[in-house]
Amino acid sequence: TGLELREGLTFTIEPMVNVGKRHVRLLPDGWTVVTRDHSLSAQWEHTVLITRDGCEVLTLGADEKR
């Protein structure tokens, strides 16, 4: 896309794991994503900050490696 990762930029990584097929659809609210086959799914996310020396995951829990 031409986007350059620069110091100070933050972004999220938001994987979704589905029990059924991979196909999803966006609901009319423009935010909610559901599986097309109505199977169970799980979603989580991490927020990442680009630093001078690499990156930092801002959303790690206290019990997760830093």
SS (H, E, C) 19-63: CCCCCEEECCCCCCEEECCCCCEEECCEEEEEECCEEEECCCCCC
pTM beyond 0.75, yes or no: no
Beta-carbon contacts of residue 50 (< 8 Å; ≥ 6 apart): 5, 6, 7, 8, 9, 10
Q: How confident is the model at residue 66 (pLDDT cuts 50, 70, 90)?
A: low
Q: What pLDDT is recorded for position 64?
A: 85
Q: Would you kindly state where each structural domain of the chain is located, as residue ranges?
A: 10-57
Q: What is the DSSP letter of 64?
A: S
AA letter at 15: P
Q: What pLDDT is recorded for position 62?
A: 87
Q: What pLDDT is recorded for position 3?
A: 84
Strand duo 33-35 + 24-26: pairing? antiparallel
Residues 12-54: pLDDT tens digits?
999 999 999 999 999 999 999 999 999 999 999 999 999 999 9
